[in-house]
Amino acid sequence: MDLFEHQGKDLFARYGLPVPSGEVASSPEDAVAAATRLGLPVVVKAQVHTGGRGKAGGVKLAADLDAVRGHASDILGLDISGHIVRRLWIEEASDIAEEYYASFTLDRSARKHLGMLSAEGGVEIETVAERDPGAIARIHIDPVDGLSQQACRQWVEAARIPEAVADAVAAVLETLYRAYVDADADLVEVNPLIVTSAGEVVLLDSKVTLDGNSTFRHDDYAAYDATQTRDEREQAAHAKGLQYVGLEGSVGVIANGAGLAMSTVDVVNQVGGRPANFLDIGGGANAEVMSNALEVINNDPAVRSILINIFGGITRGEEIANGIIEATRRVDIDSPIVIRLDGTNATEGRELLEPHLSGALTMEPTMLDAARRAVELAGAGPVQP
Amino acid sequence: MSIFVDRNTRVVYQGLTGSQGRYYGLLNRDYGTQVVAGTNPRKAGTDVDGVPIFATVAEAAAATGATASCVFIPAPGVRVAVLEAAEAQMELVVVITEGVPAHDEAFLFNKLRRDHPDVRLLGPNCPGIITPGQCNIGITAGHIAKPGGPVGIVSRSGTLTYQALYELQQQDIGVTTCVGIGGDPVPGTSFIDCLAAFEADPETRAVMMIGEIGGSAEEEAAEFIAEHMTKPVAAYIAGVTAPPGKKMGHAGAIVSGGKGTAAAKMEALAAAGARVGQNPTEAGDLMVEIVAGL
């Protein structure tokens, strides 16, 4: 779950971390009102769940209210890597003397938390990593021990942070680590972490991704979930509790289990088609879930055929077959459906489906055959033999 | 022979009194697994279809000689449940529960490694482990696996594991042990742990490995295969065409910055000498060839 910059800064502020004052605005008028309250100059910043805002023209300094209005109307509606800007963060301008980079994330291969710190902030950290890997100081943190004051101070030294601000930066990082752990974040990134000409350390940006699995111990996450960027199809699927990711093609995909669903998407591509989505209906496949899945896919105007790929494990073939039959009764499907049913009691399941087969509902013996048939029906290009 | 579990494994189910725990616990018992106890502090002294319920894992172990635990506790309770099982010195703790926070997983991994190095954690968010014909802990449909050998299976994906078991069964190929390590960011047991155990197991003569996009576990496994495996490996990686930066179901299955792509993983495995299939069927066919040549 990605947070907007301003949501991340709110979270930082709750830990007493220094962030500039600001206000959210969704119109040029709001932006002007916010700037009036904050005092000029301000920075008008696009709030989107993606990087590269600056380059795309999504961050502008405004010295007067006319500039605020102008920048706000330019930035609202801007398309930044496919994300349309619908909200702005109007922030008091900061007087930047130094720019650093700081982040905490989980290093899956080390199975520990990883802190990264660099005295060369303000630019893409990947660029720094390429040019001068030594400019990024890394620290692995054992989740059982946490980040000690001493280890943190040494890390700051290793990053070549100037002595004059080293203590202040270390204190900020210790608190930031606590926020990262308390919030169950997958990622907390501050770029830039600045030193003002008055010598104050300030978190000028925030990129925070929270672990959706930790919602049970964070009541405030529901509010963040409501501001996630999803396309219409994803929104509809999310509301029905389905694991759905929208793609660009014409073959609707339904499968049980994330691995099998991913594999189905792969196979559709391999036989020359383009999947319209990834949809995992989970271990079972009852009529309710299957109806919901078919409904979501049917509402996608790009879909020309639907591939249902089910492997029965504990769930038996006849239950799955009944689920499909019931679902096709409940939902009016516009596109032809191709079914591959395998696994436990697949024979019984196929027998149940047999009388319902038609041009609109066909069955194929294997995953590959089913994918080929679905791609053929979608008319999505050449089908390899 | 087998790895991690066999007919002597005695299992306590944490959460046997819940609906999922009861359903799969009793299915596992029907399969032949020694389901010796369940735990629930509020229902100690009762039983689930004849399986005695104890307040704690330690009490269950003392009374029944349980050596392994299977956790069906909801995600908020998993951290405490695993520590309880580890303190009761279970050799194996299998966590089926999905939705466990990544920070809890990282904590448990490091805590166990330090304070309970002899405890093997499998999962969370995994289908479990089955030594066909002997012991099935978790949610795998036992009858789709043919007992015996010579193939060991290790997989990050549930349904693809079943698919692999089923395809081997259709080809009349037996399986020594099938381990589902789960697709979460910090699994308790890794590909490498399983590959090493299969390499050491005399009855396992070939290994099927099923991976997914995201992370670098498959690349690390490839290094291990190149340096330490003498037994042939067939592999399949799901998510070849997944768009970058999108999560697909599993928390672990995410690609970012060109790392962890299926192509990179397949390349690493092929370079390590594994035979890599483009889809599950092809990987199954490759395994048939490997077994025919043993």
d(CA A58, CA A78): 8
pLDDT at residue B246, as a whole number:
57
Same domain, A147 and A178: yes
pLDDT at residue A177 tops 60: yes
pLDDT digits (tens, 9 = 90+) for A139-163: 999 999 999 999 999 999 999 999 9
Q: What is the CATH number of the domain that holds A26?
A: 3.30.1490.20
**pLDDT digit string (tens) for A179-205?**
999 999 999 999 999 999 999 999 999
DSSP chain B: --SS--TT-EEEEETTTSHHHHHHHHHHHHHT-EEEEEE-TTSTT-EETTEEEESSHHHHHHHH---EEEE---GGGHHHHHHHHHHTT-SEEEE------HHHHHHHHHHHHHH-TTPEEE-SS--EEEETTTEEEES--GGGS-SS-EEEEEES-HHHHHHHHHHHHHTT-EEEEEEE--SSSS-SS-HHHHHHHHHH-TT--EEEEEEESSSSHHHHHHHHHHHH--S-EEEEEE-TTPPTT---SSTT---BTTBT-HHHHHHHHHHTT-EEESSHHHHHHHHHHHHHT-
Beta-carbon contacts of B60 under 8 Å, excluding residues fewer than 6 positions away, are B12, B36, B37, B38, B39, B52, B54, B66, B88
| Co-location of A277 and A320 in the same domain | yes
A381 pLDDT above the threshold of 50: no
Domain for residue A10, yes or no? no
Q: Which chain A residue has its CA at the smallest distance from B138's CA?
A: A314
pLDDT in tens, B156-171: 988 899 888 988 998 9
Ranges A24-28, A247-251, B195-199: which has the least confidence: A247-251
Do A157 and A120 have their domain in common?
yes
Does A52 have pLDDT greater than 90? Answer: no
- CB B101 to CB A106 under 8 A? no
SS3 of residue A46 by DSSP: strand
Say which of A5, A98, A101, A224 is annotated catalytic.
A101
Whether A189 is catalytic is: yes
> What is the spatial distance between Cα A25 and Cα A31, in angstroms, rounded to a whole number?
5
Scan residues 321-360 of A and list those with Cβ closer than 8 Å to B.
342-344
Average pLDDT value over all residues in chain B: 93
Residues B140 and B178: beta-carbon distance below 8 Å: yes
Pair A68, A139 in one domain? no
Arch. (CATH architecture) of B141-292: 3-Layer(aba) Sandwich (3.40)
* Same domain for A108 and A190: yes
Cβ distance of B215 and A368 shorter than 8 Å: no
Closest in B100, B110, B163 to A311, CB measured: B163
Q: Is B110 on the interface with A (CB under 8 A)?
A: yes
Beta-carbon neighbour count of residue B100 at 10 Å?
Answer: 30
Q: What is the distance in angstroms between the Cα of A17 and the nearest Cα belonging to chain B?
A: 22
**Is A82 in the same domain as A101?**
no
pLDDT given at position B222: 97
Based on the residue annotation, tell me whether A244 is a catalytic residue of this protein: no
* pLDDT tens digit sequence for B178-194: 999 998 999 999 999 99
End position of a domain, from candidates A36, A68, A92:
A92
pLDDT one-digit tens code per residue, B200-242: 999 999 999 999 988 889 999 999 999 999 999 999 999 888 7
Of B160, B166, B185, the CB nearest to A342: B166
The reply to whether A60 falls in a domain is yes
Q: How far is CA B154 from CA A53, A246, B184, B190, B196, in A?
A: 42, 30, 15, 9, 11
Q: How distant is the Cα of B63 from the closest Cα of chain A, in angstroms?
A: 31
Residue A245 domain flag: yes
Q: Same domain for A356 and A243?
A: yes
Both A84 and A103 in a single domain? no
CATH number at residue A369: 3.40.50.261
- Examine residue A203 and state whether it is found in any structural domain, yes or no: yes
Closest to B275 measured CA to CA, from B260, B261, B288: B288
Tell which wins on pLDDT, B244 or A286: A286
Please count the residue pairs, one from chain A and one from chain B, whose beta carbons lie less than 8 angstroms apart: 169
Residues A133 and A269 in one domain: no
Same domain flag for A161 and A285:
no
Q: Do A261 and B107 touch (CB under 8 A)?
A: no
Residue of chain A whose Cα is closest to the Cα of B263? A266
Band (pLDDT 50/70/90 cuts) for residue B255 is very low
Say if residue A380's pLDDT is above 50. Answer: no
Task: Classify domain B10-122 by CATH architecture.
Answer: 3-Layer(aba) Sandwich (3.40)
Pick from A43, A72, A92: which residue ends a domain?
A: A92
The pTM of the full predicted model, rounded to 2 decimals, is: 0.92
User: Does the pLDDT of residue A106 top 60, yes or no?
Assistant: yes
| Res B56 pLDDT > 70 | yes
Over the stretch A288-304, which tens digit does the pLDDT of each residue have?
Answer: 888 889 999 999 999 99
The CATH number of the domain where A148 resides is what? 3.30.470.20
- Interchain proximity A260–B183, CB inside 8 Å: no
Q: Which positions in chain B touch A216 (Cβ < 8 Å)?
A: 75-76
Say if A367 is an interface residue toward chain B (CB within 8 Å). Answer: yes
Closest CB from A113, A266, A311 relative to B239: A266
Q: What ipTM, to 2 d.p.?
A: 0.91
Q: Using a CB-CB distance cutoff of 8 angstroms, which residues of chain B are in contact with residue A267? A: 279
What is the pLDDT confidence band of residue B253, given thresholds at 50, 70 and 90? very low
pLDDT at A376: 95
- For A168, the domain range is 96-225
Q: What is the mean pLDDT of chain A?
A: 92
Given this chain, do its domains B10-122 and B141-292 carry the same CATH topology?
yes
Residue B129 touches partner A, C-beta closer than 8 Å: no
Mark whether A63 and A81 lie in a shared domain.
Answer: yes
**Residue A322 within any structural domain of the chain:** yes
Residue closest to A2 by CA, chosen among B169, B254, B88: B254
In a domain, A67, yes or no: yes
Token digits for A288? 């309710």
What is the count of structural domains for chain A? 3
Ordered by start, the domain boundaries in chain B are: 10-122, 141-292
